[in-house]
Amino acid sequence: MVLKSQVKSTAVTVTTSATVLPATALTGRQAIDIVNFGAATIYVGHSGVTVANGRPVLAGANYPVDLGDKALIYAIVVSGTVNVRVLEGV
């Protein structure tokens, strides 16, 4: 992730329902880094993400991706909740 002018960090609690990361995107966002602060794996993908079709992000791991501010990414967990941090950059 190359950050050029602005950075925003957001804490999000991921649940067993698809949770958008973050709720409001940074205007002009070009990249996002999802950091799993929990003890369980989260799964990321589209609004219909499930543990069967999502990309796993292990506990303590991160997932950086180029992602514009109009594109939404979601996460889900098998059970309970997981605390994640979302770092967005312009």
Decide: helix, strand or coil at residue 49. Answer: coil
Q: Which amino acid is at 49?
A: V
Residue in the structure block whose two tokens are 């069967």: 52
User: Is residue 74 included in any domain, yes or no?
Assistant: yes
Q: Which amino acid is at 57?
A: V
Q: State pLDDT tens for residues 7-18.
A: 999 999 999 999
Tell me, what DSSP letter sits at residue 27?
A: T
Structural domains of the chain, count:
1
Q: Which pLDDT value is given to residue 90?
A: 87
CATH number of the domain enclosing 71: 2.60.120.10
Q: State pLDDT tens for residues 18-60.
A: 999 999 999 999 999 999 999 999 999 999 999 999 999 999 9
> What does the alpha-carbon distance between residue 90 and residue 79 come to, in Å, rounded to a whole number?
33
Average pLDDT over residues 65-75: 95
CB atoms within 10 A of CB 85: 16
User: Is residue 63 included in any domain, yes or no?
Assistant: yes
User: Is residue 14 included in any domain, yes or no?
Assistant: yes
| Percent of the chain topping pLDDT 70 | 96
What's the whole-number average pLDDT of the chain?
A: 94
Expressed as residue numbers, the domain containing 22 is 7-89
Q: What is the pTM of this model?
A: 0.92
